[in-house]
Structures are given as C-alpha cells and as structure tokens.
C-alpha cells in the first residue's frame, strides 16, 4: 500500500526535477547567446579601382579612398596649372607673331627700318622679341611637364593610399628584437639578432 503511494510521488518528483533542469539549461543557453549588433560593413579598398578612377577623373580615386580633403587641393593646383599654361601660351603666341612679322618686315623693307611703328612691340629690339618669346615657350613646356607629373602623382597617390588603407595597424601586432648567440661547426660561435613578429 505504501509502495503504491510512494511510486507516484517519486515519478512526479523525477519529472519535476528534469523539467526544472531543462528550463535552467535553456535559460543559461539563452543568456549566453551572443547579442548581435549591427555593424557597418568594412569598405573594401581596391588599389586598381582607385587608380582607374583617378585616371578617368583626377581626384575620384581619392574620393573612393575616403580622403575627402585631397581633391580640393588637387583641383586648386590643377586650376593654377591651367591658368599658367594658358598665360604662357598666349604670351608665347603674341611674341612669336611679333617676331615673325618683324623678320618678314625686315626682309621686305628696303630702308631697313629698326622697328615697325604703331605696333605694341615697337620698343622691343629683334633680339628682345626672340629672347622673350623663347622664355615664354620654355615656361609653357615646363608648365605642361608639371601638369603631367601632377596627373601621374594623382594616380600613384590613389593606388598607394588604397594599399595602405588595407594594412591592419593594431596594438595586437608586435615586433620584438633579441640578441642571439649560435654555434656552427661545433666549435665557433657567432652573434646575431632574433626578430619575433607576433600577432595576438
């Protein structure tokens, strides 16, 4: 009789125990589940794409690399170079035309007059016209070379900057240097330096 009464109590106790353990385990698993936070996807810097963008449109590679302060500097420099090229080209054409007309005038003038009266360059001698013309031509060529160098530097900067943006600069990366003494031929010793590169 007592055994019949004890058997259901034991059964109820065992079922209650297992239910309690299962609920505790489930709560523990829920509490230990990592909380997912929304993070921005990391920008993938591609050096080839940055260089191509800067080749097509100077400054676009810098925008791609998120270096927003570089394009205004680049465009200001480009504007100055364009002005310099235009100014030197205009002045070179003026003095070249004046010198060419002076030479033609000399060839056709029987009185061998020194200047053409009424021209804006009548106070210039033949040699002064030629020297000034050559100076503006030299400055024009130099400004074109500088502009080409700035354009190439814009492409190289975008390419290298995209490479450097991918490097992991972290405190977990360390390099340590230690002295080293080692032997060879079982009798001679040599000193050296041991480098340990550690990524934690």
- Identify the pLDDT of residue 114: 45
Judge contact between 103 and 97, C-beta under 8 A: no
- Identify the pLDDT of residue 133: 94
Judge contact between 144 and 49, C-beta under 8 A: no
Which region among 59-73, 87-101, 138-152, 176-190 has the lowest average model confidence (pLDDT)?
176-190
- Within a domain: residue 23? no
Other beta carbons less than 10 A from residue 163's beta carbon: 13
173-184 and 188-199 strand pairing: antiparallel
At 64, is the pLDDT very low, low, confident or very high (cuts 50, 70, 90)?
very high
Range of the domain at 148: 47-166
Which region among 73-77, 120-124, 133-137, 184-188 has the lowest average model confidence (pLDDT)?
184-188
State the pTM of this model. 0.59
- Within a domain: residue 137? yes
Other beta carbons less than 10 A from residue 144's beta carbon: 15
- Within a domain: residue 24? no
- Within a domain: residue 142? yes
Joined tokens for residue 192? 């050296």
- Within a domain: residue 10? no
- Within a domain: residue 32? no
- Within a domain: residue 119? yes
- Identify the pLDDT of residue 28: 46
Provide the number of structural domains found in the chain: 1
- Within a domain: residue 18? no
d(CA 40, CA 173) in angstroms, rounded, equals 24
């Amino acid at each position: 009789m007592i055994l019949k009464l004890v058997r259901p109590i034991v059964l109820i106790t065992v079922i209650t125990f297992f239910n309690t353990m299962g609920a505790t385990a489930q709560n523990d698993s829920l509490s230990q589940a990592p909380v997912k936070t929304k993070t921005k996807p990391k920008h993938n810097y591609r050096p080839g794409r940055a260089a191509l963008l800067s080749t097509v449109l100077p400054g676009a590679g810098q925008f791609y690399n998120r270096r927003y302060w570089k394009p205004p500097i680049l465009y200001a420099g480009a504007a100055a170079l364009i002005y310099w090229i235009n100014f030197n080209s205009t002045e070179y054409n003026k003095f070249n035309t004046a010198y060419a007309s002076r030479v033609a005038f000399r060839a056709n003038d029987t009185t061998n007059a020194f200047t053409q009266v009424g021209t804006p360059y009548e106070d210039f001698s033949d040699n002064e016209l030629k020297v000034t013309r050559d100076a503006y031509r030299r400055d024009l060529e130099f400004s074109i070379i500088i502009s080409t160098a700035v354009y190439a530097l814009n492409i190289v900067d975008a390419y290298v900057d995209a490479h450097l943006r991918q490097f992991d600069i972290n405190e977990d990366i360390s390099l340590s240097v230690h002295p080293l003494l080692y032997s060879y031929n079982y009798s001679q010793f040599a000193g050296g330096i041991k480098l340990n590169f550690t990524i934690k």
